[in-house]
A and B are shown apart, each in its own frame.
Chain A
C-alpha cells in the first residue's frame, strides 16, 4: 500500500533570497510551503507541522544540512528529502553524495532553475507515494 500524496513542503535554506524564490515557485505550482532559515528552526517546524517533503540546503551556519537530514530520518522514516547544495570540495557532488548516504532521497546541485526544483519535488512525492511501506 502506498502513501497518500500530499503537497506540503518544508524548505530549509539560510539564503533568504533563494528561500523566497523557491517558496514562490513551489507555491505557484500548488504546494503548501513552509520555510525555515536553518536546520534548527526547520526541525522545530517539522515537529510542529509535519511535511511529506523537506528540501534542505547542506551548508548552513546553524545546524547544517547533513545533521538535519539524519535528525529528520529519525523523526520520520517516510518523509521525502531533497538535498540542495552549491558547496565544493572537488565539486557539489561531494556534499550531495554524503546527503544521499545519510538519507536524502534526491539531490540537486546549485545553481538550478526553479522549474527543475518544482519538477523534482513533484517526482519525489510521486515516488514516495508509490513506494511500498513496511
Chain B
C-alpha cells in the first residue's frame, strides 16, 4: 500500500468514526430532556464536526 493509499484508508476510517460519534450523540439527544446533558451532547456534536473539518483541511493541504 502506498503512503497516499494509507492516508486515504486512515481518512476513510476517521470519517466513519466521526459519523458514528455524531450519530450516537444525536440519538442520545432524543432520549434526554435535562438541559445540562443536552448541552454536553450538543458540544460533542459541535466538536466532532470541528474535528472532521480539520481532517478535511489537512487532507486538502497535503494533496
Which residues of A does B touch, CB under 8 Å? 15, 17-18, 21-22, 24-25, 28, 59, 86-92, 109-115
Contact = CB atoms under 8 A, between A and B. Distances in A.
Contacts of A91: 56, 59-60
Interface of B: 7-8, 11-12, 14-16, 18-24, 26-27, 30, 45, 48-49, 52, 56, 59-60, 63
A22 B16 CA distance: 13
B30 A111 contact: no
A86 B63 contact: no
Interface of A is mostly: loop
B20 A88 contact: no
Contacts, number: 67
Nearest to B4: A89
A86 B27 contact: no
14 contacts: A18-B19, A25-B27, A86-B11, A88-B8, A90-B60, A91-B56, A110-B15, A110-B16, A110-B18, A111-B19, A111-B22, A112-B19, A114-B22, A114-B26
A86 B16 contact: yes
A92 B15 contact: yes
